A and B are shown apart, each in its own frame.
Chain A
Amino acid sequence: MDDAWRERFRMRALQAVTKRAPYGNDIDLSEFIQTGRIATTIPEDVKRKSLEVGVDVGEVKSGTYFQLDHSVLLSRLASRIKGLELMPADLALGKYEWLRGYYWKALSVEQDKYTAMAELRQTKGYFIRSAANERIERPVQACLFIDTEGVLQAPHNIIIAEEGSELNIITGCTVGNRTKRAAHLGISEFYVKKNATVIFTMIHSWGEETYIRPRTAAIVEEGGTFISNYILIKPVRDIQSYPTAYLTGRKAKAKFNTIIYASKDSIIDLGNRIILMEEETSGESIFKVVATGTAKVYNRGQMIGQSKNTKGHLECRGLMLCPTASITAIPELIAEHSDTELSHEAAIGKLQEEQLNYLMSRGIQPDQAIGILVKGFLDPGLPGLPESLQADIRSRLSLLDRSGGGKKEPC
């Protein structure tokens, strides 16, 4: 593929390789390697592990994308699906010259060293596009799987929902059982056109020595809706991410739902920013976190009202299971117009004894009762999600409950 056009991005990236991000620990990326596992079909152990993050390659979805380290092992639409495109992003950029206009448009390549490195050491990523007025009911599933010790995975995803279309995506990101130390820099750029809807659900299940720096932005046009659901339930070494939704057209909407079970010594620094740029735009961010072990969680949120009749709400609900964990909520409301209505609400506390006693009075043992309350606290009840997807997420949570992820850890 002739990708001379990318040269200018590489040049800009080179300028930013040492630029520290404003939040999170600084990670030395030079120690992570480029060589990944080579495979032509999805190995059985990988298939099993990907189930943990909601990706079932045996299940009928609208389409499936599967990337193992740097190799795309599957990029296929279900039969009889119309109005949907799914392919590796590099192929799409070769196929459609116009797509180059979307590359590093929502995000800036020189945002920080992680966006820069993602460009310089880019490894695939997916392109998903729903055609105008097409309603893609069943979700498209994508898996970004790391399976090599010490590897740096840096996919660049581009998602476009054309005017009036609806797109539902579940992306699962995880590491193989043999991999301990790895890094993931996932770039995701969303373009939600006029009156289109994108529901994007991302489930992360990383290893205890993985470093994660996703960079995400969405541009939402008039009447468009962008819903992002993010779920993280397994321990991780260090994750930092701060996606931004730009509501550039009238009546555009964005909603972020974040569900975190922070355990062991994970460092989790997550936030999201919604910029209400046009009239009657609205945004909402709901962050639910359970913290145990010695996990440190930061929840940042920024709601910026820039136009008339805009409305934004930030919410953080934290449940502390262990005195050695910590949760820090840092909500920011920025009004840049007199006709904007912004609010935030944050509450952090421990399990309510009354609720625990109540469940125990039904004969439920204390450990199980705590697990049930934690699951209930995190239970998404995600508004705007189709029931099938909801059930899918719920089953992930109960899977974790069974494997001990939802249970109280010894402090």
Chain B
Amino acid sequence: MLELNDINVYYGKIHAVKNISLKIKKGELVALLGANGAGKTTTLRTISGMLRAKSGSIIFDGQDINKIEAHKIVAMGLAHCPEGRQVFSRLSVLENLKIGAFLRKDHKKIEKDLELVYSLFPVLAERKNQSAGTLSGGEQQMLAIGRSLMSNPSLLLFDEPSLGLAPIIIEKIFEVIKELKNEGKTILLVEQNAYNALAIADRGYVLETGNIKLSGEAGDLLANDEVKKAYLGG
């Protein structure tokens, strides 16, 4: 479904992503792990068209999307839930969700998806007319996830959804991600919280300073000594 072949990305002169290749099959949940500054977010931003890879190709549903504008990639069924939530704090919760469905014209289906998001996160339904800035951090993360679901994507990119949240909220967030996978969504999950991520993922990649260091089945990675030492606190 998504295939990165030897992509290189630069921030000005900084070579942030070096020759990364990865592959996600339909219905898979793949975790992308690594420390701060390893290039995880850069990789995601490149996939969603916010950045351009200098070389290499990004194949999504059989099409190279490296040169395609961000909004068109969204239209192709790829949703990117960005790091740090980035909800529109001056817009209401409902407006935030509706802008998630910005490109869709199927109003009846949008209403249905809205109900779906409300059923995943009932608190959003309660606060739909509140401005998003008044929500707590956890609620904002739920809103960010809900918002990315509103485009009815086939592939979801999550960037650090657990960042800065209380453990009980983190648990809830990972539960929802797992549920989304079970419903058939394909997911690329970027996390520092490697244990939780690998617990729900099928496979995983480990990034280090812009390179892929390790890759494999989630279970194998969890058992890997190096991963344990570096990311699992063991």
Q: Do A and B bind each other?
A: no
